[in-house]
Amino acid sequence: MNLLVKSAIASALALGATGAYAIGLPANNNSDLVLVIENQTTFATYALDTGISLSSVMPTGSLVSGAILDTSISIASSTTGPSATLSSFLAANPASSDAWALEGGQYNGNGNSSTKPNSEKAGNALAIFASPNGTAVNAEVNNYTLANLSTFENGLQQSFVTGGLTALQTATETTAASYTQDSGSPNSKYTLIGGGVNDLATLGSTAVQLFGFTGNGGTGVVQSYILGTATVGTNGTLTISGSSGAAPVPLPAAVWLFGSGLLGLVGVSRRRKSAVAV
C-alpha cells in the first residue's frame, strides 16, 4: 500500500479514537462542557463529558469587547442521546426528582488558581452554563464580574481534581459524581447565581438559555453572551439549539466515511497496477 495512503488512513482512525477522555482540567485552558443530572431526593448524580470544547463554542475571534448579553455567538446545534448507563441511572431515579446542569470552565492556568492576571483578558478564561434563573431574569447574570468568573473557575477546578467530577478525567461518564445543592450538606457545590439559589433545571422542562462569559480586560463586569438554549428530556437527551441552527456532522461517521473512501482509492490503484503488469 502506498505510504501516503497508509499515513492518511492511520491519521483518520487516530482522529476518530481521540477525544474519548478529553475533559481536561480548567487550569489547562482546555476543557469541555459537562452535563450533570442529579436526583434532588437522593442526590445520586450522573455526569457526562459531552466532548464539546469551550474553545469551539467561544472562539477568540468571536469575542466582542464590552458585550453584555447583547451579542450572540453563532454556534452549531447538537443532540446527544442517552447512553445505556444514563438510561439505567434515570430508571433508578424518578424523573420527577431529577434536575440537570450544563456547564464548563477553563482558564490560562496559574497552578490550580484562577486569578486576575490569567483571567481578565478576553479569551484567557471561559465559562459557559445553562441557567433557568438567568433565563427568567437576565439581570441575575448580566453583572457577572471577574471575581465571580474566577470563583466559578476555581470551583470547577477543585471539583475535577478532588471533587465529584474527578472520574471524568479517565472516563466519559460516571454515576458516582456529586453536585448536591442540599443546604444541610457541608459539601454543597457552588451555584452560579449568588445567594445559595438552586440553579439546576428540571428534566423535561422548557429550554433554558446557555450563557457564555469571558474577561473584559479589567476588574469590572465581564463579557457575557447568550449562546443559544439547552434542554434535557426526561429520557436524558441533551439538545443544544445554537443561533446558527446547523447540526454538526458526528466525527466518527465522517472519519469512517473518509477511511472507506481512501480504501476505495487503494483498490483502484491496485487494479491499475494489475492492468499495467498484464
At 12 the pLDDT is 32
Q: Which residues contact 229 (CB under 8 A, 6 or more apart)?
A: 130, 207, 208, 209, 210, 240, 241
C-alpha cell at 178: 456529586
C-alpha angle 234/239/242, rounded to 5°? 155
Per-residue pLDDT of the chain (278 residues; tens, 9 = 90+): 433 333 333 333 333 333 455 688 999 999 999 999 998 888 889 999 999 999 999 999 999 988 988 777 888 899 999 999 999 999 987 666 789 999 999 999 877 888 888 899 999 999 999 998 888 888 888 888 898 888 889 888 888 888 889 999 999 999 999 876 555 554 455 555 555 667 889 999 889 999 999 999 877 899 999 999 999 999 999 999 986 533 333 433 333 334 444 444 444 444 444 444 54
At 76 the pLDDT is 84
At 185 the pLDDT is 55
At 9 the pLDDT is 30
At 272 the pLDDT is 45
**What pTM value is reported for the model?**
0.78
Closest CA to 235 of 131, 97, 91: 91
At 11 the pLDDT is 31
> What would the DSSP string read from start to end of the chain?
--HHHHHHHHHHHHHHHTTTT----TTBT--EEEEEEEETTT--EEEEEEEEEHHHHS-GGG--TT-BSS-------EEEPPPHHHHHHHHHS-GGGEEEEEEEEEEB-STT---STTTSSBTTEEEEEEEHHHHH-GGGTTT-BHHHHHHHHHHHHHHHHTSTTGGGGT-SEEEEE-----TT-TTPPP-SSTTT---PEETT---EEEEEEE--SSSSBPEEEEEEEEEE-TT--EEEEETT-PPPPPHHHHHHHHHHHHHHHHHHHHHHHHHHH-
At 193 the pLDDT is 54
Contact by Cβ (8 Å): 53, 30:
yes
